[in-house]
Chains A and B, each alone.
Chain A
Amino acid sequence: GAVVSQHPSWVICKSGTSVKIECRSLDFQATTMFWYRQFPKQSLMLMATSNEGSKATYEQGVEKDKFLINHASLTLSTLTVTSAHPEDSSFYICSAGPGYNSPLHFGNGTRLTVT
């Protein structure tokens, strides 16, 4: 089945630093990938749609300058949390689907803690 790999699984960083999270589709090409954020005991909130070779589409209320998305190839999308602050601490999870009528497959998520 389709596999999506996400790294790192967890990261702790200091306030003011930037953190990059990678999302890879291992056995299919993904022209589109999705980035979600999840707070404890809450649902997944779509942050942005990552499009290969073009700018990402951000959901309302998501700061594009804070959450930089790059989709440089058909198998890799990266999310960079810039100038991280404690309120950015959350679970970030990426997803992609191999094609028409297929479900989204998810990475295992990245737990970010900003101290």
Chain B
Amino acid sequence: AQKITQTQPGMFVQEKEAVTLDCTYDTSDPSYGLFWYKQPSSGEMIFLIYQGSYDQQNATEGRYSLNFQKARKSANLVISASQLGDSAMYFCAMREGRQTSYDKVIFGPGTSLSVIP
């Protein structure tokens, strides 16, 4: 069963505007972590932001913020003031368990974001 769902295969946003990329997940483990990664056309995976299931506040990293709604099991990524360099694939990922380096991370299907000048 799909544990991570990203319902937007492709998104467009005007430069300098904000955009929200959706992510919902499914787990019965009370301890889990949620990640967002960016993959430009070059193929590298760039870590953007992390939210732990017990974190009280939504995570923020510069222009990236995570809208974490635990009861709804959603972890949407908000990118403010979009830039042309933000055009890429964006993956939501989850790691269940105690967040050790041994716990595997699984990825959602991804959203392709295109920033329009």
Which A residues fall within an 8 A CB radius of B?
A: 30-32, 34, 36, 42-46, 49, 91, 93, 95-106, 108-109, 111
Contact = CB atoms under 8 A, between A and B. Distances in A.
Contact of A96 (B33, B35, B101, B110): B101
B100 A108 contact: no
**Secondary structure at chain B's binding surface: helix, strand, loop or mixed?**
loop
Nearest to B49: A103
A99 B107 CA distance: 19
Interface in B81-117: 91, 93, 98-102, 104-110
B108 A32 contact: no
A100 B100 contact: yes
B22 to A, nearest CB: 15
Interface of B: 33, 35, 37, 42-45, 47, 50, 52, 91, 93, 98-102, 104-110
Contacts of B35: 103-104
Nearest to A98: B101
Given A44-B91, A91-B43, A109-B44, A102 B108 contact: no
A100 B107 CA distance: 19
B75 to A, nearest CB: 14
Contacts of A49: 102, 104
Contact of A108 (B44, B47, B101, B108): B44
Given A43-B110, A95-B45, A103-B47, 8 more contacts: A44-B91, A97-B101, A99-B101, A100-B101, A101-B52, A103-B50, A104-B35, A109-B44
B102 to A, nearest CB: 5
Contact of A100 (B42, B99, B105, B108): B99
A102 B50 CA distance: 9
A105 B91 CA distance: 14
